[in-house]
Amino acid sequence: MDNRVCKHCLLRDIEGEEKEMIRKYKDAIMAEDRVADAEYERRLGVCMNCDKLSIGTCLVCGCYVELRALGVVAHCPKKKW
């Protein structure tokens, strides 16, 4: 199973059970449902520079961006990726 962790550490301010839940969901996403590493990093880079990012959460839709950026069929609610 792919256990990649974001180099940008968007979850650095999230603690405890919530952080562990996000890591488990990331691990559970099947390989065929994930974007390539380069695309994942590109998406997270866009999110890191967005004014709607707060402690790893998108303020537009409420998702955890590390999870949304991982999915093949996922998209940015502001259409940035």
CA distance 46 to 80: 7
Domain limits at 56? Answer: 1-81
pLDDT in tens, 32-78: 888 999 999 999 999 999 999 998 899 999 998 988 999 999 999 99
Note the pLDDT of residue 52: 95
Domain tally for the chain? Answer: 1
**Using alpha carbons only, what angle is made at residue 3 by residues 29 and 37, rounded to the nearest 5 degrees?**
80
Residue 19 phi, psi dihedral angles, 5° rounding: -65, -45
- Indicate whether this model's pTM tops 0.85: no
- Write the CA distances from 74 to 17, 30, 79, integer angstroms: 24, 14, 11
